[in-house]
Amino acid sequence: MKYLIVGGVAGGASTAARLRRLDESAEIIMFERGDYISYANCGLPYYIGEVIYEREKLFVQTPESFAARFNIEARVRSEVERVNPEKKTITVHNLDSGGLYEETYDKLILSPGAAPVRPPLEGIDTEGIFTLRNVNDTDRVKGYIEEHDVKRALIVGAGFIGLEMAENLHRAGLAVSVIEMQKQVMVPNTLLPAQATSLLLLNSRLKTIPVPTSMLVVLPASKPTVMTTLLLKALQLSLCQTRVPLMATLPLVKR
């Protein structure tokens, strides 16, 4: 049996490893458009904040180590441009040579990932505006901070990545604000229930207050409860030594 997997990193690489455990004799080939097949997605903000100091520690597997450990061929910088189901082939674009070729399959698994949302706003392509999804994005953000002596940062989105970026940009010495469209940070029914995240409503009257764990965060203007403190510990928002609100609702002004 010959398996082709479109996409690496969390989805594709995990699928490839699982297939190998289920079938030791199968031929498995994984195609990844980018430069890296497996890296610590959740560690990217922490490399920017230098909690993870060495860049190489972000990488879980390389094509060479993946082949040695699992007998799986991983082809990086290989973009799958077409699926030909009638022939059971895919058309692959080698981004280094520019050439196209076809590869046959018995089973095809699609794990191509996604692209970060860039809202269609005037000025969205201005220098200094970034998305964070992969290692290349991380290098651009970190490089820009170092080269331009950045002092302030605005993060759009208060999900997992947004809050981790807030923590680590603060750790890097920046004054940080976060904008969130929804009425609460995080996403209900994932890590935290709505009752917990509602303690951090962005449409409430906000103020910056210290809590017993030496963290400064933005909370509704009310006395913090034990549940609030436990929630903040869980989020690990290490924002001591700042008076700049972590989260703020700011109008989007079209100039």
Active-site residue set? 42
Of 1, 4, 11, give the one whose Cα is nearest residue 84. 4
- Cα–Cα distances in Å, from 123 out to 64, 128, 179? 42, 11, 17
